[in-house]
Amino acid sequence: MQRLAMDLRMLSRELSLYLEHQVRVGFFGSGVGLSLILGFSVAYACYYLSSIAKKPQLVTGGESFSRFLQDHCPVVTETYYPTVWCWESRGQTLLRPFITSKPPVQYRNELIKTADGGQISLDWFDDDSSKCYMDASTRPTILLLPGLTGTSKESYILHMIHLCEELGYRCVVFNNRGVAGENLLTPRTYCCANTEDLETVIHHIHSLYPSAPFLAAGVSMGGMLLLNYLGRIGSKTPLMAAATFSVGWNTFACSESLEKPLNWLLFNYYLTTCLQSSVNKHRHMFVKQIDMDHVMKAKSIREFDKRFTSVMFGYRTIDDYYTDASPNRRLKSVGIPVLCLNSVDDVFSPSHAIPVETAKQNPNVALVLTSHGGHIGFLEGIWPRQSTYMDRVFKQFVQAMVEHGHELCNM
């Protein structure tokens, strides 16, 4: 890498000298402009292929899971080529919601009751036209968990459903309380440390289709919630496998990274306003237990969590809540196959907080770590509108588990 950097600096210096000379003798008349463009293009291509496009790091706690993924989910061992003009972490993160398409999906909404008198909104894609699984009772079911303030309308959720439709699977999106337009019936929202609502949803779905293969996939905070659930319940879950994408492994490290000035400006403040907006719609439900005026003055996610989330769920301090919310503490207890895709340049989830050593101790866990991709970015191709690397990992993994998951038991 040092030698490559030295060569690139030397090439840049020589090109600069060459440019100065050609400007003096007539830049455009000599056709040098094209030569310089070609020269820079070659230099950039060399840099991209040697430093940007890389195979992901595959970390598993057992040879069986690693071999299974190499055989049935080969995308996790192939070189990931980030979009050549947008491979930087923040660029990938910011651009994805605007550049990726939003496939049309017709949902069937269901509201289910909770033990405390609340309700949860589920958006179903039944896929009744499935040609591969015509029997609804055995049609594979994929539970999808969106991110922090996300719903079933997020582009990454729509892409997952579109991919599942290609496979003939049924999908159901778990919308956290109060974010999908439904009324909040009790003074309670959601957080990634409390898994009660997720447990309710999983058991509800399984009771409807007990014979169907059942998997789950969580994105960002949805993945944190899913991992905390799996870490608490171990192997005693109806789920046969799960996948997570861009999970924040250590909430303290995530918060610290997002509070750096540029990250605060680009991401933290905006997400804080989204959280404030989501709870302010139900303000009348919280005024007896929470100082909502103080909540609405929060300038960061940490301040919001200190003033609202930690109080809502009865934590003594924000540190107590963040400790309980961090899924790295429970990874060792996960009892079903789980694939976790993260980019090491994700400012939402710093690479130093990714629990590599813990993953090596659990044969059910596989970490797939790319060098680039940002937070829920993973853009690839010249114009990454239809598909991302994350989409391909999702599709191959769920298909592998549905069609070949039994092989893991025999390895």
* Catalytic machinery residues: 220, 346, 375
CA 274 to chain centre: 18
Q: Which candidate, 365, 143, 363, places its Cα nearest to that of 238? A: 143
Q: Which residue bears the tokens 């592998």?
A: 400
Cα 65 vs. chain centroid, distance in angstroms?
A: 21
Which tokens hold the place of 352?
Answer: 């130093």
3-state secondary structure of 103: coil
DSSP run (H or E) holding 311: helix 310-312
Q: Is 52 exposed, middle or buried (0-12, 13-18, 19+ CB in 10 A)?
A: middle
- For residue 241, count CB atoms less than 10 angstroms from its CB and return exposed for 0-12, middle for 13-18, buried for 19 or more: buried
d(CA 255, CA 349): 9
Dist CA 262 CA 347 (whole Å):
10
Phi, psi of 89 (to 5 degrees): -55, -55
The H-or-E segment that residue 197 falls in is helix 196-208
DSSP structural state of residue 388: B
- Give me the phi and psi of 373, to 5 degrees please: 140, -20
